């Protein structure tokens, strides 16, 4: 019941609350594309298509891990899955711990039936590996959605601000390593909006993760979300003090790319539109993830979700066209992104 009400609060606060970073930005505003006044391309020929973890996607777009465990979460997950299938995108579900503890809630996550061709990610907080979770629970979560991979999220700050959060992160890298070698699907790691440094990425790659989602600072602040939920004045103050804590998304991408030129890399955290997304790709990301913007559209209606996705695709196409690039690999080689 406790986890379910937390999931409900998260959705509500992310829809209505003031939960954005205040001063820390993604850093993407420090970059600008060089406009091409003569692209020598037909816009209709622009190709957004990409392949990630062996799966073909119509565009490098990820609906970031968010929710599950309540009736509203189920509606949102099912709408998101329908869109992931329709546009052939990637999608993550939120932490599935709630359903391991209450198996009757598993159907709030079972989106494969709606998205047979999408790249789907299962999800668990890595810290749960220190609280009784192991290969069996992870396998069950993967099976519920016939997931292509498992995302482990790393959220030390969120756990510090959350009332009775799970804060024993000791020895986790060894457990992640074991899981990477025993789980039959690939393991991906992500943060939740505070970013992953180059040094941490190096450790995680050595432990065996196949891809990293930076989930950097500049968008949804989970210190703020948990601070808003807390009743204890100490937890509330922690949420305020650490509201702007984290590594900006752009810095995570460039840092990780400098030490790991080929690791499949997802950029997320504070991306607002296709121009932000294209900048992240030009900096070296392979996939771009959006959480709260998809949540807001999905909560409104399926139609709003389709419109939001079409806008993102049109923005990505327009960046490629107006920089004179027929596809993203050309964009990454083009040097058309400049630092201001």
Ligand X SMILES: Cc1cc2nc3c(=O)[nH]c(=O)nc-3n(C[C@H](O)[C@H](O)[C@H](O)COP(=O)(O)O)c2cc1C
Angle between helices 292-300 and 71-87 (to 10 degrees): 100
The helix (H) or strand (E) run that includes residue 265 is strand 265-268
Interaction of residue 268 with ligand X, rule CB under 6 A: yes
Whole-number minimum distance, CB 39 to ligand X, in Å? 30
Count of positions on this chain that bind ligand X (CB under 6 A): 26
- Counting contacts by CB under 6 A, is residue 269 touching ligand X? yes
Binding of ligand X at residue 123 (CB under 6 A)? yes
Residue number, nearest CB to ligand X: 219
Examine residue 157 and tell whether it contacts ligand X (CB under 6 A): no
Reading the block at residue 279, the tokens are: 């900048």
Can residue 192 be called a binding residue for ligand X (CB under 6 A)? yes
Minimum CB separation of residue 123 from ligand X in Å reads: 5
In contact, 83 and 306? CB cutoff 8 Å: yes
* Cβ neighbours of residue 18 closer than 8 Å, sequence gap 6 or more: 224
Please choose, out of 61-69, 83-91, 311-319, 320-328, the segment that lies near ligand X by the rule CB under 6 A: 61-69
Least separation in angstroms between residue 118's CB and ligand X is 16
Q: Nearest CA to 195 among 222, 166, 228, 230?
A: 222
The answer to the question of residue 67 lying near ligand X (CB under 6 A) is: yes
Cα–Cα distance for residue pair 173/168, rounded to 1 Å: 12
270 binds ligand X per the rule CB under 6 A: yes
Q: Which of 99, 105, 96 is nearest to 151 (CA)?
A: 96
Q: Which residues make up the interface to ligand X (CB under 6 A)?
A: 10-11, 14, 64-67, 94-95, 123, 151, 153, 190, 192-193, 215, 219-220, 268-271, 290-292, 295
């Amino acid at each position: 019941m406790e986890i379910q009400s937390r999931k409900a609060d998260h959705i509500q606060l992310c829809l209505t609350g003031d939960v954005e970073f205040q001063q820390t930005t993604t850093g993407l505003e420090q970059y600008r594309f060089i406009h091409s006044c003569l692209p020598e391309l037909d816009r209709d020929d622009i190709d957004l298509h990409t392949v990630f973890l062996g799966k073909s996607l119509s565009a490098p777009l990820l609906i970031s891990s968010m929710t599950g465990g309540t009736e509203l979460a189920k509606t949102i997950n099912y709408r998101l899955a329908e869109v992931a299938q329709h546009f052939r995108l990637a999608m993550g579900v939120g932490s599935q711990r709630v359903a391991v503890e209450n198996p009757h809630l598993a159907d709030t996550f079972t989106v494969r039936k709606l998205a047979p061709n999408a790249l789907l990610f299962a999800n668990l907080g890595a810290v749960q590996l220190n609280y009784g979770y192991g290969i069996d629970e992870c396998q069950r979560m993967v099976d519920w959605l016939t997931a292509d991979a498992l995302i482990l999220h790393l959220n030390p700050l969120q756990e510090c601000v959350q009332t009775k959060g799970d804060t024993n992160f000791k020895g986790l890298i060894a457990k992640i390593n074991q899981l990477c070698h025993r789980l039959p699907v690939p393991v991906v790691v992500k943060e939740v909006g505070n970013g992953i440094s180059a040094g941490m990425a190096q450790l995680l790659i050595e432990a065996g993760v196949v891809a990293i989602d930076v989930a950097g600072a500049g968008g949804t602040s989970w210190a703020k979300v948990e601070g808003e939920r807390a009743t204890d004045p100490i937890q509330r103050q922690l949420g305020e003090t650490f509201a702007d804590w984290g590594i900006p998304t752009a810095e995570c991408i460039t840092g990780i790319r400098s030490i790991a030129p080929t690791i499949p890399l997802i950029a997320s955290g504070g991306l607002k539109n296709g121009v932000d997304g294209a900048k992240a790709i030009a900096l070296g990301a392979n996939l771009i993830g959006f959480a709260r913007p998809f949540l807001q559209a999905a909560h409104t209606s399926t139609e709003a979700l389709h419109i939001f996705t079409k806008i993102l695709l049109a923005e990505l196409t327009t960046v490629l066209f107006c920089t004179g690039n027929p596809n993203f690999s050309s964009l990454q080689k083009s040097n058309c992104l400049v630092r201001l």
